[in-house]
Amino acid sequence: MTPSGDASRPVALVTGASRGLGAALARFLAAQEFELVLNARHAEPLEEIAGELRDSGRTVPTVVGDIGKPSTRTALQREIQRFDHLDLLVNNASELGPSPLPPLAGYPPQGLERVFRVNVLAPLSLVQELLPYLVRARGRVVNISSDAAVGGYPGWGGYGASKAALDLLSLTLAHELKELGVSVVSVDPGDMRTAMHQAAFPGQDISDRAPPEATLPFWAWLLNQEPMAVSGHRFQAQGDRWEVSP
C-alpha cells in the first residue's frame, strides 16, 4: 500500500506534534514540502494540526498514543512503511515528570522510570525500528534536548538527566551510523512559552519566554546544512549563531 501524498517529497516523522515546538515544526516542515507523519498522546489537538496541514494537500497520517509504548511505535513504523523511506525523524515528545518538579533526593522512582522511558528509550527504539527507512533516504535524526541536560538546576535533575543521556545517545549514534549515511544531532530549543514549560513553573507567569516559532530560523539553517557535516553536534536553537567546527 502506498500513501496518496507526493512520493517525490521528503518524509518527516515528528513526535509530540500536537502543540508547542512539535506543532510549530510540523507547520514549518509542511511549508518546506515535506510529507508528514505526526504523533501525540492527545487526539483532538493532534487532529487539529493534521487537519490544518491536510488543507494544503497532504495526507498527514497521525498516530495517537504514548511514544513510550511499543504499540505506538509499531503503528508509526507501519505509517512510515507506506512511504518506504524516512528523511527526517524528530524525536520531540518528552516527559517532564512530576509537577512541581521534585528534588532528586525525593524523586519518585516510578516517575523517573517514565521520564527515562519516554525521553531516552523511546527515541532510541524509534531509531532502531525505523533505521532501514532512514538508511534508504540517507536521513536525519534530530533529538530534542534541553539546557537542563547541562545545567544541574535544582528540581530539574530527573528531566535533565534524561536529556543528558539523550545527548550521549545522539553522539554515539552519530558515530555508529556514519557509515550508513544517517546523520544524528541533538538540539536544545531553549526556554519557550509552552504547556510543558508552564507545568515546570506552576502558577508563574512565563509570558516573557519566546514562542516555539522563535526557533524556526535555526531549523531553516539546519535543513540547509549537509547532513553529515553537522552529524554528532549539539545545537542551541535560540543561540546567536550556529556553526560547525571544522
Which residues are identified as catalytic?
Answer: 159
Say if CB 47 and CB 54 are below 8 A apart. Answer: no
Q: How far apart are CA 8 and CA 102, in angstroms?
A: 48
Across the chain, the runs of DSSP E, i.e. the strands, are 11-14, 35-40, 62-64, 88-91, 140-144, 183-188, 234-236
Say how many C-beta atoms besides its own lie within 10 A of residue 31's C-beta.
Answer: 12
Task: Residue 91: name the closest of 54, 52, 43, 146 by CA.
Answer: 146
Q: Which three cell numbers stand for residue 35?
A: 510529507
Cα 77 to Cα 213: distance, rounded to the nearest angstrom: 28
d(CA 135, CA 132): 5
CA distance 223 to 149: 24
- d(Cα 3, Cα 11) in Å, to the nearest integer? 11
Type of residue found at 212: P
Q: Which residues contact 131 (CB under 8 A, 6 or more apart)?
A: 177, 180, 182
Nearest partner of 166 among 177, 154, 174, judged by Cα? 174
The three cell numbers locating residue 136: 534508504
